[in-house]
Amino acid sequence: METNDNPHPSGENPKDHLRAAAEDFRSAATAKAEEIRRTAEQKAEELRNAAQERANQFRSNAETAWSDARTKAQRWQTDGEAYVRQNPAKAVLTALGVGFVLGLIFRK
């Protein structure tokens, strides 16, 4: 009767099997990490584009608001100058009255 000292009849060494399993695990982990990295880069790019688009919208809104405010200020200045030219005495007395009231308010 012939005895076989090798407990694994397939002739495969358990260490080799563990090394192969570890290499498979390492390959799978590397592939998964690469997939996660690509997904994260894609999401970051999407967020970057969305943020850029939102910033452009804010910039456009701010430019519109600034332009409107400037136009209103110029219109008020023009209207004020026209009013002062038409009613100089009334404008001077009004300015003196407003100045006096503001002086009393800030004095306290």
Domain membership of residue 55 (yes or no) is: yes
Q: For residue 7, is it within any domain? A: no
Residue 2 has pLDDT above 70, yes or no: no
Domain holding 61, by residue range, is 14-107
Domains: count for the chain: 1
Helix, strand, coil content of the chain in percent (nearest 5) = 85, 0, 15
- Stronger pLDDT, 1 or 95, i.e. the higher one: 95
Greatest mean pLDDT range, 23-27, 66-70, 90-94: 66-70
Residue 15 has what pLDDT? 86
Q: What is this structure's pTM?
A: 0.50
Tell me: pLDDT of 86 over 90. yes
